[in-house]
Structures are given as structure tokens and as C-alpha cells.
Amino acid sequence: MSEAAKNPSAGEPIIRIENVSKIFGGTVKAVDNVNLEVARGEFFALLGPSGCGKTTLLRMLAGFEVPTHGRVIIDGQDMSKVAPNKRPINMVFQSYAVFPHMSVEQNVAYGLKMDRRPAKEIRERVAEALDLVKLGSLGKRMPDEMSGGQRQRVALARALVKRPSVLLLDEPLSALDAKLREAMQLELVRLQKTVGITFVIVTHDQSEALSMANRIAVMNAGTVQQVAPPATLYEAPANRFVADFIGKINMIEGDAVAAGEGEVKVTAPAIGEVTLAGNATGKVALAVRPEKIFVDEKEPTDPKLIKVKGKVGEVAYFGSYSNVFFDIGTGAPLQADISNVSSDIEEFTFKAGEEYWVYWRKADTLVLGD
Amino acid sequence: MSLFKRNPDPMGPLDYSRRLSLRITVAVTLFFLYAPIIGLIAFSFNDSRRNVVWRGFTTDYYVKLFNNDALMLAFANSLTIAVFTTIFSTVLGALTAYVLWRYRFPGKAIYEGGMALPIVIPEICMGVAMMVFFARIGWPSGMMWPFNLSAITIAHIAFSFPFAAIVIRARLESFNPELAECARDLGASEFQVFRDVVVPHMKPGLIAGALLAFTLSLDDFVITFFTSGPDTVTFPVKIYSMVRFSVTPEVNAASTVLILLTLVVTAFALRMQNRNNMLGSAAH
């Protein structure tokens, strides 16, 4: 409350994207009527396959593209047509774009010099920013003497030193090797908590988005499919695209008709008729995550379960679990992630052709429309 | 026991330097490339007027050379023209390259082709064209030095700047556009982006382009011949007129000086480029 009292606009979202479209060359709709709000201090992710428009959206926030329609409002001001150098936003580029002819310090100081800050202030803020990204002792180094991870830290310090209201990150981890990427994910979250600046990250890597962001917008073909916290995206995807894009999922095609308040009756091959919570009617997919599926030799009796008979097909062993494909006679195999909870190898070895009862809870079943 | 004796160190498929045919090719190439130049330099010290047989070592012809006022003036003319040509060609070339690289505009292909035309047009045609052009528009002649060199300098700039533009353009191709966007994002104006990010990247291209323009201008004969008057003789043109009388070691000495000058300028440019790189890595 006191925070809001000090800053009357604190309740306002820091970024508001209103009906924004971007059409390239008169025909190519890269971004199609997008509405989004990003709250102050949020770690927000734009997630989607390549070509879904997420980078174009980011570039419109930075000012490198002007929206064809709609408005981009940053910190209460319409910034749709404001040049990139006049926006309270800074960006970490995919290639890091560290100036190769400048030392680390000069790189970090560049933005402050453009703002004509006094030399003393620049020195202090550069040192502070370098400490923040743990490069305090490397200020005199040239970029070509640094590793990819260190160069990325330079890019981060260079953007953060300007104290922007929003920091944009364009696929920041894609150029790093797997181990460094994991470390950097934690580092970015730590950094965001320390500086309290709103982060907007663009990524095609769902694990990156899920592990770092407070909220994620999933995009496809220029439109926003769903905006939700990571767990909601995973457990309650809004449609087939989101369900399929985030994690692994089984989909059984069926037909649904409304059956009372918030319930639908679904008819699907191999399963028969089942009443589930949901709203979608017509052609739907019954979707269930592989780790929510159980396997037994005996037929389960609990009425809260959906059960089918399945024949073991492909088996992929991953150590802590096995990814087993069951043929349930629908054409599309049903995959289940079975945890290897016992060290008895025999007990968790699935052989092709064996028959099992495959079942899952009705509550874990999603009814997804298009 | 093998029937065939094995070579203890057989030639590998990529051991080109051990093939006789290649060794001969390299030797012949080097011979025809450098023997005339070395001969030229050696005979500039020949103590003979006829310059056919070696008569003994002397530096007399260098003394004579430096006392030859007409030749010295020609030398000064050449250097002046070359310096101005270098400056203007590099700036023009850089701007042309930047425009072609950065912007898309109608008629860009035509502009690009038109710009490169002086490279492919035979020099003789260009020389004649320049001569006719300057006569037709009545370009003033007989001005005081160095303004009397303006016609030659303009002609030199016209044919050297496309070379500079091409070299600089090639360098720009390796520029990461995100660098420019990043500078913009950090608050730089379009001009500041050009000055702080694009020009530093262009630097090796600028040096190479300048060097190219300098050497092109310094040793150009054909176009200069058509645009020079009696009082605006350049070094190559002067040497040509000297050769018409007789090939004395003085001509050799003059050529040697020209070679030396080119080498010094090239070495200087390379050094500058290296020092830039070294400054970069020695900063910590």
C-alpha cells in the first residue's frame, strides 16, 4: 500500500500492448492483433516456435519496428512511434552485440555517455553494474578475450547500467552450451530479483520460459494463444496448440456434447463414453500428460479413472523413468512416463507385445477444442 | 620380406611443397615477378650512361636525380595529387559503400553498376573522355600550384573511389547489424551509431581503400597523360618522357624511389592496422 501511495502509477502495467498488428510488405502478418499487459517487476516470457511473431513483438517494444496497427504503451506513455534511443527500455541482443573495439568498461559506459552523464557518475555506475554481473575485475578486458558467457554478462551490465524500466532479452541463452545455460537461467532470475526491473524474455525453449518466468505468453502464427503462469500453462492449457507445444502430451480424438454445468460428455474410440469437466464441444481432444498415466496388470476398479487396454510398443529408457508407448488401437500410440521407483530391473522392464491396463484419473484429463 | 622397398617417408596427398612440378612453377613465377625489379634497382647504381653493361657501383644518378628540378617538381606533383586523391576517394568510397550497404532505394542496382563502371572502362577511353570533358567545359588551366593539378586530381578521384568503395563495402558485409541496433538502443543517434560503431568496424577497409587509391593515383599513367598539361607533369609521365630520350640509370633511380615510396606507405598502413589491433588487446 505504501508503495502504491508513493508511486501513483504502481498499479498500472508497465507495458500495455493494445490491438497491435505488424504487417510486412503489405501481406505478411507477423503479429496479428495482440493484446498483452506486463506488470511492473514481472519476469515475462514470450514463448513460441520460430516465426510465431515473438521477436517482431519484442522489436516493437524496443522501437526497431513500428506497429502497423495498435499502440504500445510503456510506463503510461504511447511509445508506438518513438525512436529506440528515446525509450526507457534496453535490450540484450541474441548475439550480445558487444562492441568489439571497446573494452568491457567502455562497452558498459557507452549508454551513459550517450546520456551525457558526468564522468564520475559513469565510473561509479559502470563499476556497480560490473559487480552486479560478477565481472568486477575484468573491466579492462577486450571482448575477444572473453568467453561467450562473459560477453553475455557484459551485454547485461551494459543494458542494466542505464536503469531501464524494462529489460528485453532476445533468446539470451541460445548461444550458450547446456551447462552454462542452466547456470545462467538461475543467474538471470537472481539478477531480476536484485534489480527489480521488469524483464521480458523471448525464447523458443519452453524449459527456459517455464523455469524463469512468472508469466508466459505462448504465441503461434502471430497471435497470443494463452497468457498464464508456468504451472497453469502446463496443467491447464487453453487449446491444442498450447498443450502440444508445452511438454509432452497424449491426445485422443473424440466428440463432445454439453452435459450440464461445466461438464461435457465425450465419446472416443478405445475409451467409450465418459463425462468430464470442460466446456469445449464438437470435435475435441482428450489430453493427458504421460507422467499422469499408470500401468497395472490387473484391471483397476475405481470409477474416477479412465482405463484402456494397451500393448507395449516402443520403450525408451531414461534412468529415472521409462517412456513407454502403448498401442491402444486408436492409431496414435499412448505414451506413459513410468517412474523407475524400484531398483529391481525385472519389475520395470517393459517388453514389446505385453498387455497392460493403462489408466489415469478423470481429473487429470483435459478436454481441448481447437 | 616385401617385394617393394618402402619409402621411409612417403609423400602425403597434401604435401604440395614436395612436388617437383609445383616447385618449378613457383620458382619461375618468382623469377619473372622479381628479377626485372631487382635488375632495375641494381642498375640504378650502375656507373654507365648506356645502362647495358655493369661498369661499377655509383650513387651519382641519385644525386643527379635530386638535382633535376623538373623531375623533382613532377615528383611533388604526383605526391600532391595522390594525397588529395586518397583523402577524397576514401571519404567518397566510404559514403558510397555505406549508402549501398545500409539503404534500399529505387534504382539502387543502376547506381551500384554505374559507380563501378570506371573499374571496367578501358583506361584509355577514360583518359580521352576526361581530356575532352575538361576542354569542353573550359576547366581553367595555368592556375598557380597546386590548383593547376585540380583536373588531374578530379580524374584520379573519379577512377579510384570505386575501388575504395568496393573494398569498404566488402568489409561492411561482415558487420553485425545488431551492433548498430544495440548502440541505438543505448541512446545513440543515427550519426553517433555511424561514428562509434560502423566506422571502427570499417577501419581496415578504410585503410585498404586509402592505400589502393594512393597507389592507383601515384602510378597512373594513361589517364594522367591525357589530363596533364606542359606545366603539370607527374612522375610517371616524366619518366616516360625521359625514356624517350635514353634509358639512363637516372630513370632506374627514379623508378627505385617510386617503388621505395610505395613500399614505405604500404608498410606504414599495415603497421597502423596492426597497432590498432595490438592497442585493442594490450589495453588490459
Question: Which of helix, strand or coil describes residue A110?
Answer: helix
**Which residues of chain A neighbour B185 with C-beta distances below 8 Å?**
62-63, 84-85, 89-91, 159
ipTM attached to this prediction: 0.80
| pLDDT given for residue A218 in this prediction | 93
B 169-188 near A (Cβ less than 8 A)? 176, 178-179, 181-188
Domain boundary residue, one of A199, A219, A240: A240
What is the average pLDDT across A276-294? 86
CATH number for the domain including A260?
Answer: 2.40.50.100
Residues in B touching A111 (Cβ below 8 Å): 186-187
C-alpha–C-alpha distance, residues A223 and A33, integer Å? 7
In this predicted structure, what is the pLDDT of residue B276?
59
> Which CB contacts under 8 angstroms, 24+ apart, belong to B6-15?
none
Edge-to-edge strand list for the sheet holding A355-361: A294-296, A355-361, A305-317, A321-327, A334-339
Instruction: Let me know whether A229 and A252 are in one domain.
Output: no
Domain boundary among A240, A264, A297: A240
Residue A204 shares a structural domain with residue A120: yes
- Helix, coil or strand: residue A188: helix
Are A52 and A73 found together in one domain? yes
CATH of the domain at A143: 3.40.50.300
- How many whole angstroms separate alpha carbon A172 and alpha carbon B232? 62
**Has residue A365 got a pLDDT over 60?**
yes
Which of A240, A268, A292 finishes a domain? A240
Contact B176, B182 (CB under 8 A): no
Measured in whole angstroms, how far is the alpha carbon of residue A340 from the centre of its chain?
Answer: 29
Asked if A97's CB is within 8 angstroms of B179's CB, the reply is: yes
pLDDT of residue B5: 65
Distance from CA of A263 to the nearest CA of B (A): 51
- Contact of B37 with chain A, judged by CB distance below 8 Å, is answered with no
Angular region, B5: left φ>0, alpha ψ -120 to 50, beta rest: beta
d(CA A106, CA B284): 12
- Same domain? For A136 and A168 the reply is yes
A287 and A351 within one domain: yes
Note whether A47 and A116 are same-domain residues.
yes
The 10s digit of each residue's pLDDT in A212-244 is: 999 999 999 889 999 999 999 999 888 889 998
Please tell me the least confidently modeled range out of B73-82, B115-124, B240-249: B240-249
Break chain B into its structural domains and give their ranges.
16-59, 62-275
Which of B184, B280, B283 lies nearest to residue A85, judging by beta carbons? B184
Q: Which tops the pLDDT comparison, A68 or A277? A: A68
pLDDT at A262 over 90: no
A270 closest CA partner among A196, A201, A191, A332? A332
Whether residues A180 and A324 fall in one domain? no
Tens of pLDDT, residues A54-78: 999 999 999 999 999 999 999 888 8
- A101 and B183 within 8 Å at the Cβ level: the answer is no
What is the number of domains present in chain A?
2
Kindly give, in sequence order, each residue whose CB lies less than 8 Å from that of residue A72, ignoring residues fewer than 6 positions away: A15, A16, A17, A18, A20, A60, A61, A78, A79, A80
Q: Which CATH superfamily is domain B62-275 in?
A: MetI-like (1.10.3720.10)
Confidence of residue A179 (pLDDT cuts 50, 70, 90): confident
C-alpha cell at A70: 495498435
Q: How far apart are CA B197 and CA B182, in angstroms?
A: 10
> For residue B107, is it left (φ>0), alpha (ψ between -120 and 50) or beta?
left
Domain with A352 in it: 248-368
Say whether residue B284 is in contact with chain A using an 8 A CB cutoff. yes
Instruction: Name the helix (H) or strand (E) containing B31.
Output: helix B20-43
pLDDT of residue B9: 76
